Structure 1
Amino acid sequence: MKPDNVLILPGWQNSGPDHWQSRWEALHGYRRVDQHDWMRPRRGDWIAQLEDVILATDGPVVLVAHSLGCILTAAWAEVSRSTGRVQGALLVAPGDAERDELRGVLPSWSPIVRQRLPFPSVLVGSRNDPYCTWDRAQGLAGDWGARFIDLGERGHINAESGLGDWPQGRALLLDCAGSQI
């Protein structure tokens, strides 16, 4: 698999330069799915953009989602006819768009799609994520059929978590991709 078949799916407000997703993009040549509006994301727009990128990619893809990108993965999988192109997904720190404080700023993202994903997936959760409780992250992993990984207390598993290039996460990604990237 070519590195640009690994699709980076950032969450709301995108991932900054110190975020592990951005570092992987720079280090390994993975490709970010750029959304039209990072600040006021609309579920339908983000789903359409992901579908367009997958259809334009030659061969299978692996998804690397963070926060709202995890919720996007589930929403896209519910409506797409292209799910067979996904070899696997690494889902990190899902953002709970159904929380009261997020529902108002992310109105089109509720309810969260809770059906089993039609491809192998791993969900990495943190015990002190301010955007998704520990129990909720485990519940989403169960609903989506994802293997759950406990990362301990690492906040939202983002740039502020001090992960740097996050080699442990990349090992999980290689496992999802069958070590083919």
Structure 2
Amino acid sequence: MNDTAEPTVVIVPGLRDHVPEHWQTLLAARLDNVRTVPPLERDGLSRAARVAALDAVLADIEGPVVLVAHSAGVMITVHWAQQPTRPVQGALLATPPDFETPLPPGYPTQEELAACGWNPIPWRRLPFPSIVAASSTDPLASYRRVAGMAEAWGSRLADLGDVGHLNPAAGYGYWPRAEELLRELIDATAAPTAAPEAVR
């Protein structure tokens, strides 16, 4: 990889934003070239505000970018991708929630999600390569629905097995597979060093 530019990794958290023991937070601490979408001080459930926050981070980065999104961060990413403002090299999309199906108690209701612009879920092919990491025991989405999302988005589906929602409540924590999948994605999508517009 001597003739390739190492991308900036952009962490896209879910609705709970920055949790110190979350695998995204721990992953960011292990990377040299990384940015994290900051938490919102207001309008925290607004889909448009969260997409705008991601867009602002991306606008401040030159060169190739790889996104690492979890939970609602996946939905932020796919909504942003409907009208992308810059090329993205690829995205790791871990355990997306099914916002079109009622969520367990303690999570936003269907009415709240609709009012804040989250539904419908975008089902169009993403304009960049991606890996969807799916749990077989996610309380926020069935494996079948997540597999359907991966197919619609043109993503490679990675079956994680029994990992719940892949969050601290499910025992994650440091998640070594994140680095493996990220490295796989970066290596598979690397392009020779060139102008940013040449990187897809």
Q: Deviations over 1:154-175 (max 9, x none)?
A: 1001123334321222110011
Structure 1 equivalent of residue 53 of structure 2: 49
Alignment of 1:152-171 (within 5 A): 152-171=161-180
Between structure 1 and structure 2, the one with the greater Rg is 2
- Alpha-carbon offset, residue 73 of structure 1: 0.9
* Aligned AA (1:26): A
> Is contact 2:44-2:50 (8 Å) kept?
no
Highest RCO, 1 vs 2 (Cα 8 Å, sep ≥ 6) = 2
> Is contact 1:12-1:39 (8 Å) kept?
no
Alpha-carbon separation, structure 2, partners of 1:145 and 1:37: 34
Q: Deviations over 1:1-40 (max 9, x none)?
A: 567x200001111141111001011222432101315883
Alpha-carbon separation, structure 2, partners of 1:96 and 1:37: 25
Alpha-carbon separation, structure 2, partners of 1:58 and 1:110: 31
Alignment of 1:68-79 (within 5 A): 68-79=72-83
* Aligned AA (2:158): I
Query: Structure 2 vs 1, CA of residues 59 and 157 (structure 1 numbering), >3 Å: closer, same or farther?
Result: same
Number of corresponding residues: 177
> Is contact 1:122-1:146 (8 Å) kept?
yes
Alpha-carbon separation, structure 1, partners of 2:158 and 2:25: 22
Query: Structure 2 vs 1, CA of residues 163 and 59 (structure 1 numbering), >3 Å: closer, same or farther?
Result: same
> Is contact 2:167-2:173 (8 Å) kept?
no
> Is contact 1:13-1:38 (8 Å) kept?
no
Structure 1 equivalent of residue 93 of structure 2: 91
> Is contact 1:93-1:129 (8 Å) kept?
yes
Alpha-carbon separation, structure 2, partners of 1:36 and 1:21: 17
Structure 1 equivalent of residue 9 of structure 2: 6
Runs of 4+ in structure 1 deviating by more than 6 angstroms, as ranges, are none
Structure 1: state its 5+ residue gaps.
none
Identity %: 39
Alpha-carbon separation, structure 2, partners of 1:25 and 1:81: 24
Alpha-carbon separation, structure 2, partners of 1:11 and 1:87: 21
- Alpha-carbon offset, residue 56 of structure 1: 0.7
The structure 1 residue matched to 2:143, chosen from 130, 134, 142, is 134
By percentage of residues, which structure has more helix? 1
> Is contact 2:20-2:26 (8 Å) kept?
yes
Q: Deviations over 1:67-118 (max 9, x none)?
A: 0111111100002231x2x111000000111123442332210001111011
> Is contact 1:12-1:38 (8 Å) kept?
no
Query: Structure 2 vs 1, CA of residues 38 and 94 (structure 1 numbering), >3 Å: closer, same or farther?
Result: farther
Structure 1 equivalent of residue 127 of structure 2: 118
Alpha-carbon separation, structure 1, partners of 2:146 and 2:43: 23
Alpha-carbon separation, structure 1, partners of 2:42 and 2:136: 26
Structure 2: state its 5+ residue gaps.
104-108, 191-200
* Aligned AA (1:113): P
* Aligned AA (1:97): F
